[in-house]
Amino acid sequence: MKLAVTVLASILLACSVTTATPANPSAFVGIVPEYRTISYQEATRLVDTSRLSEDDARLIEGHLETDRKRQEMRKVCVLAKSKELDQKILVAWLNKKHFRLLHKLLKNKNDPTYQKKLQNSRLELKEAREKLKELEEKREKLEHDFFVFRLPLYSIRENIARRLFGYGMDLASFYSCVEFLKFNRGFLESIYESLTLRLNQQSESEQASTSGTQSSSQHHESPSSSSEASTVQSTQTSSSTQITTCCIQ
């Protein structure tokens, strides 16, 4: 009787779940922002590298390096997931093999050959399961580290988007630019190369200007030095003449 009541309660619960009024998807449309896709040409047209500074170059360089590490970590996670999947397949195969041996042993109870094979199979299956557990733990840790490492990237990308595309955009356009930067690493690399080239040329020009100013100062100081040297030489000559005259007298 208790079993019948339990089954009936389970059926009623299942019916109540399946007949519940589904949520209206249109109620959530306004919550999720809609991003439009911008093209590479449009993004290039929006960026004016002449406005960017050395701080912007460092910001972009740091993002590119962090993104490179993110890609490397992602590859490691994918590899760990692949190894775990291969090990799961191996465990499933060993499990089937073990049950086949067990079935044969039940048919041939007095056959020591199957007993030995079953023992080896049990040990092999145990080792494979332990290895699978290790791989699962390793993969979970790698994915956790990967998730934590990615967190600052989005805020950095937002800062770069503000610096590149300006602050006057509406929210949808701004996040379209952020998404564009996420999937177009080559765009940031080209901006960084162009900006670095301009900053280097500017630095070389300033150094040349400073060097020219110093040379000009030294050139203006040289006549005065020559005059002073002539005065000293004239004084020395006069003194020598006086000494010679005194000696003659």
The pTM of this model reads 0.63
Other CB atoms within 10 A of residue 224 CB: 9
Exposure on the CB side of residue 225, measured as CA atoms within 13 A: 6
- Residues 67-126 have pLDDT tens digits of 999 999 999 999 999 999 999 999 999 999 999 988 888 887 767 887 888 899 999 999
Residue from 61, 45, 46, 40 nearest 195 by CA: 61
| pLDDT value of position 86 | 98
pLDDT in tens, the chain (249 residues): 443 333 333 433 334 333 334 444 444 334 445 567 789 999 999 998 889 999 999 999 999 999 999 999 999 999 999 999 999 999 999 999 999 988 888 887 767 887 888 899 999 999 999 999 999 999 999 999 999 999 999 999 999 999 999 888 889 989 999 999 999 999 999 999 999 999 999 888 888 777 666 655 555 555 544 444 454 455 444 444 443 333 333
Q: What is the predicted pLDDT for the residue at 214?
A: 62
HEC per residue, 67-128? HHHHHHHHHHHHHHHHHHHHHHHHHHHHHHHHHHHHHHHHHCCCCHHHHHHHHHHHHHHHHH
Cβ(91)–Cβ(125) under 8 Å? yes
- Residue 18 is predicted with a pLDDT of 37
Report the C-alpha dihedral over residues 96, 98, 103, 108, rounded to 10 degrees. Answer: 150
Name the DSSP letter for residue 31: T
Residue 11's CB is within 10 A of a number of other CB atoms, namely 10
DSSP 39-66: -HHHHHHH--GGG--HHHHHHHHHHHHH
Residues in the chain: 249
Q: How far apart are CA 148 and CA 136, in angstroms?
A: 18
Q: Which residue has the tokens 């930067």?
A: 181
